[in-house]
């Protein structure tokens, strides 16, 4: 049991509470799935799913490329030598409930911890989806032949819907990781500068003469948590 828990640790990403969690992980993939199924319906469901030229093979080719990227990104984040990576995120930080001394407590995640969970989840999911697609390609014909003819359509497209939902979840989470790696972690941490009391009236007078509000000049701490 403990060994299985260790192997499934990357899935802890799904337990992280953060801003826009349901939008990124559920609503957007579901919207993309419904649009895709609508397109399939317009095509009268005439789409190759299995086989060397089918949908699963195409997704598998994509996963062969990105799985290495996910694992390399995980290694880079874990060893990235930047001081602010070990700071908690500003605003509403992502949090994870963890076991602690026989009980449970809520842990506010640092940038490094959050990104390690994110790319660990992507690595795990890409491997799972890739080998799941390979297994489906190998077993699909035998399974469909064993089913009643009336059930073949529904079973086939139920599997395709579940498979595509996971793929779209993978894509949305990848875009979140790219946003964070390209922009968010490089944002400088906001700092407040304390102004000496004797200088405050002069600054206020000077700003008043110029019609500028002192509040507009004061640095503000970012409210975006992640």
**pLDDT for res 186:** 62
Identify whether 221 is part of a domain. Answer: no
H or E segment to which residue 195 belongs: none
* Banded pLDDT at 208 (limits 50, 70, 90): very low
- Assign 103 a pLDDT band (cuts: 50, 70, 90): confident
User: What percent of the chain shows pLDDT beyond 90?
Assistant: 38
Domain that holds residue 119: 16-189
Q: Average pLDDT, whole number, for the chain?
A: 81
pLDDT digits (tens, 9 = 90+) for 118-144: 999 999 999 999 999 999 999 988 998
In a domain, 87, yes or no: yes
User: Which residues share a beta bridge with 96?
Assistant: 107
Cα(212)–Cα(220) distance, integer angstroms: 16
Question: 64 Cβ partners below 8 Å, 6+ apart?
Answer: 130
| Residue 3 located in a structural domain | no
Closest CA to 173 of 107, 225, 112, 124: 124
119: which 2 tokens? 């790319």
Residue 210, domain member (yes or no): no
For the stretch 8-17, pLDDT in tens is 888 999 999 8
Domain assignment of residue 2, yes or no: no
Enter the pTM of the model: 0.79
> What proportion of the chain, given as a percentage, has pLDDT over 70?
79
- What pLDDT is stored for residue 111 in this prediction? 86
Q: Map residue 129 onto helix, strand or coil.
A: helix
In a domain, 212, yes or no: no
Specify the number of domains making up the chain.
1
Q: How many CB atoms lie within 10 A of CB 158?
A: 11
pLDDT score of 168: 96
The reply to whether 195 falls in a domain is: no
């Amino acid at each position: 049991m403990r060994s299985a828990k260790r192997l499934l640790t990357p899935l802890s990403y799904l337990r992280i509470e953060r801003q826009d969690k349901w939008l990124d992980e559920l609503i957007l993939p579901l919207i993309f799935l419904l649009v895709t199924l609508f397109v399939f319906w317009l095509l009268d469901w005439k789409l190759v799913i299995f086989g060397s030229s089918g949908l699963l093979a195409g997704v598998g080719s994509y996963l062969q490329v990105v799985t290495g990227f996910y694992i390399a990104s995980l290694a880079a984040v874990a060893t990235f030598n930047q001081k602010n990576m070990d700071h908690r995120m500003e605003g509403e930080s992502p949090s994870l409930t963890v076991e602690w001394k026989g009980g449970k407590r809520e842990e506010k995640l640092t940038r490094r911890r959050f990104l390690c969970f994110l790319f660990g989840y992507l690595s795990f999911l890409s491997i799972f989806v890739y080998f799941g697609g390979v297994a489906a390609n190998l077993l699909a014909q035998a399974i469909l032949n064993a089913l009643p003819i009336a059930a073949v359509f529904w079973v086939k497209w139920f599997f395709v819907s579940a498979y595509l939902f996971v793929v779209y979840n993978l894509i949305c989470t990848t875009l979140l990781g790219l946003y964070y790696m390209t922009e968010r972690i490089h944002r400088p941490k906001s700092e407040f500068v304390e102004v000496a009391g004797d200088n405050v009236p002069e600054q206020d007078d000077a700003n008043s003469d110029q019609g500028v509000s002192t509040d507009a000049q004061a640095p503000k701490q970012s409210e975006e948590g992640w």
